[in-house]
Amino acid sequence: MAKILGNFHIALLIGIVLLVAAMVGLHGSLIGSGNAYWVGWVRFLHIFAGILWIGLLYYFNFVQIPTMPKVPAELKPAVSKYIAPAALFWFRWAAVATVVIGLILAEMSQPGYIGNALTLKAGFKTIGIGLWLGIIMAANVWFVIWPNQKRALGIVPSDDVKKAASASLAMMASRTNLILSIPMLYCMVGQAHIG
Ligand code: HEM
C-alpha cells in the first residue's frame, strides 16, 4: 500500500481511472447525444487546471510568503532553490492551461461566447467579468510574477538591490491575484448557477 500511495504518478493515475469510471458510469448515456457530454469533460479539465493554479496561489499567500520570515537563514535556500521553483513551474503552466481550456469551454458551449463575454453582452456579464479577471491574473503571472521571481530566486543573475525590489514586486502582484481570485471565482461559478 505504501508503495502505491508513495508514488505520486500511480496515485494520480488511480484518480484518473476513477474519474473515467464516474464520467462514463454516471453520464455515459449522454455520449452520442450532442456535445453536452464532451463539454462536461472540458469543464472538468478547466476546473482541475484552475484548482492547481489557484491552489498554488493560495499556497504562496497562505503559507510560503507569511512563513518565510520565520525560516532560519541557513534553511531558506531549501525553499528558494527547491520548493518555490517547483511550485512556480506548476503555477505558471496551470495558469496557461486554465485560460486555454476555459476559452475552449466557452466556444464549445456556444459559438460567439468569448466575444459576448468579453464585451459584457446581456446574459454574459457575470462570466465576462470572470474572464477579464482571469485574463488579468494570468497576465500578472507571466509578465510580473514570473520574471520578478526569476530574479528574486536567483534563477537569472541579478544584484542584491534588484533582487529585493523584484521579490517585493512579485509579492505585491501575488497579493493582487489573491484579491482578484475571490470575485473571479464568484463570477465563474455564478454564471451557471445565478446568471
Ligand atoms: C481567463 C481565464 C478563464 C476563462 C477563459 C474561463 C472560462 C470559463 C467558462 C467559459 C466557464 C463556463 C461558464 C458557464 O457558461 O457556465 C467557466 C466556468 C468555471 N470556471 Fe473558469 N475561466 C477562467 C478562469 C478560471 C479560474 C482561474 C478558475 C479557478 C478555479 C476557474 C474556475 C471555474 C469554475 C469553478 C467554473 C464553474 C463551472 C460550473 O459551475 O459549471 N475559471 N470558466
Tell me the pLDDT tens digit for each residue of 59-93: 999 999 999 999 999 999 999 999 999 999 999 99
Instruction: Determine the residue of 42, 46, 98, 187 to mutate for testing ligand 1's pocket, defined as the one with the most ligand atoms within 8 A of the Cβ atom.
Output: 46
CA distance 73 to 69: 9
CA distance 12 to 52: 13
Of the candidates 68, 46, 64, the one whose C-alpha atom is nearest the C-alpha of residue 56 is 64
At residue 33, the pLDDT reads: 86
At residue 171, the pLDDT reads: 97
At residue 34, the pLDDT reads: 85
* Rounded (5°) CA angle 49-97-111: 105
CA distance 97 to 110: 20
CA distance 10 to 158: 40
Ligand 1 atom at shortest distance from the alpha carbon of 95: 27
At residue 40, the pLDDT reads: 95
Nearest CA to ligand 1 atom 16: 192
At residue 115, the pLDDT reads: 98
Ligand 1 contact via 170 beta carbon (within 6 Å): no
Cβ neighbors of 169 (< 8 A, separation 6 or more) are 144, 148
E strands, 10-119, are none
Nearest CA to ligand 1 atom 41: 192
* Cβ burial, residue 64 (10 Å; 0-12/13-18/19+): middle
At residue 114, the pLDDT reads: 98
Low-confidence stretches of the chain (pLDDT < 50) are: none
At residue 97, the pLDDT reads: 98
Amino acid making up residue 134: G
Q: State how far Cα 87 lies from the chain centre.
A: 11
Whole-model pTM: value is 0.95
Domain residue spans of the chain: 1-31, 45-193
Cβ neighbors of 31 (< 8 A, separation 6 or more) are 37
Is residue 194 within 8 A of residue 140, CB to CB? The reply is no
The upper half-sphere exposure of residue 77, i.e. CA atoms within 13 Å in the direction of its Cβ, equals 3
Ligand 1 contact via 189 beta carbon (within 6 Å): yes
Can you read off the three cell numbers belonging to residue 86?
Answer: 517547483
At residue 1, the pLDDT reads: 87
Can you read off the three cell numbers belonging to residue 132?
Answer: 477579464
CA distance 180 to 177: 5
Give the distance (Å) from ligand 1 centre to CA of residue 83: 28
At residue 181, the pLDDT reads: 98
